[in-house]
């Protein structure tokens, strides 16, 4: 596979095994499990034996120590369907000087890492790649074998078209069922009205939503010298300028935009992260895990 290598899978399993949080559940609080009596996956608590209880749930080791009968109760974890949406618009193809990979490749890799984490945690994960020109959807699955198809599908895509088209965003949100969560990976290079629409769409109901904003460091630092021509990767519009003459003002404007965007999502109850492509995707993955542990 292009993005999800065996070494990455092993590391994700290791991360999962070292953490104590539960990703799945009812999506209430920290994804707590829904307590339902029965012989399900996770031990919940002990209680004293009562007449009529099934003896197969008696813990005989406890009885040997205390000479009293105790029943093991279990909790059944309600699996969550995680819908991972990857922005496949033209601007995601950007790769600055010195960068190891484009924003698209970084996002596709992180999307597969997240899907692997969710599935190995007993939940479901699906991936949707969308832009104004292309749409690919892989339905949520709890089978690790499905990651092969997701990886191949994303590897075959070439980012193009406009960012976050409203009609396709609406369709992606409508396709999510109950007990679902959304994870969006996008550079958010869209008009304020479209970002406001996005926040409203994915904050409605009881759905938990997380946004990773992959950016190339060059987009913030504007490192080019001399006179350079810059083309909009989605519209083709072009502007010629001397980066050094506007660098400081540009950095202030870009940083202000990042803060404004994060604040807008936070006000809607959406957790967002800036993820610069210079750092390995595992940095973003571990940041996400720490959020779920908090």
Global model pTM greater than 0.75: yes
In whole angstroms, how large is the CA radius of gyration of the chain? 23
pLDDT value, residue 55 = 73
Band of pLDDT at residue 250, cut at 50, 70 and 90 = very high
Rounded Cα distance, 48 and 39, in Å: 17
Do 110 and 285 touch, CB atoms closer than 8 A? yes
DSSP string, 30-69: TTPPB---SS-SEEEEEEE--TT--GGGB-HHHHHHHSS-
For the chain, the structural domain boundaries read 6-15+78-293, 42-75
Residue 265 phi, psi (nearest 5): -70, -40
Rounded Cα distance, 139 and 151, in Å: 13
Residue 112 phi, psi (nearest 5): -70, -40
Superfamily for the 6-15+78-293 domain: von Willebrand factor, type A domain (3.40.50.410)
Band of pLDDT at residue 46, cut at 50, 70 and 90 = confident
Is pLDDT above 90 for 107? yes
Band of pLDDT at residue 32, cut at 50, 70 and 90 = very low
Q: Count CB-CB contacts under 10 A for residue 273.
A: 15
Do 80 and 180 touch, CB atoms closer than 8 A? yes
Rounded Cα distance, 78 and 172, in Å: 22
By C-alpha distance, which of 76, 91, 97 is closest to 234?
A: 91
């Amino acid at each position: 596979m292009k993005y999800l290598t065996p070494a990455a899978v092993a590391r994700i399993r290791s991360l999962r095994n070292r953490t104590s949080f539960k990703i799945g559940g009812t999506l209430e609080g920290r994804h707590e499990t829904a307590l339902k009596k029965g012989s399900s996956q996770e031990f919940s608590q002990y209680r004293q034996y009562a007449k009529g209880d099934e003896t197969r749930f008696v813990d005989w080791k406890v009885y040997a120590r205390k000479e009293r009968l105790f029943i093991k109760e279990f909790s059944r974890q309600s699996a969550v369907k995680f819908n991972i949406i990857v922005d496949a618009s033209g601007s995601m193809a950007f790769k600055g000087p010195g960068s190891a990979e484009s924003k698209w490749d970084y996002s596709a890799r992180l999307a597969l890492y997240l899907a692997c984490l969710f599935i190995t945690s007993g939940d479901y994960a699906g991936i949707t790649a969308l832009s104004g020109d292309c749409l690919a959807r892989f339905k949520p699955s709890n089978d690790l074998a499905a990651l092969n198809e997701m990886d191949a599908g994303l590897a075959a895509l070439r980012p193009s078209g406009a960012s976050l088209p409203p009609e396709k965003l609406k369709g992606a949100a409508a396709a999510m069922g109950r007990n679902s969560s959304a994870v969006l990976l996008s550079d958010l290079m869209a008009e304020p009205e479209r970002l406001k629409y996005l926040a409203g769409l994915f904050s409605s109901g009881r759905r938990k939503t997380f946004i990773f904003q992959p950016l190339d460091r060059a987009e913030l630092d504007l490192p080019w010298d001399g006179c350079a021509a810059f083309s909009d990767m989605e519209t083709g519009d072009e502007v010629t300028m001397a980066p050094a003459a506007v660098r400081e003002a540009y950095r202030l404007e870009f940083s202000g935009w990042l803060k404004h965007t994060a604040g807008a999502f936070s006000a809607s109850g959406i957790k967002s992260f800036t993820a610069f492509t210079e750092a390995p995707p595992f940095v973003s993955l571990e940041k996400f895990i720490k959020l779920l542990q908090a």
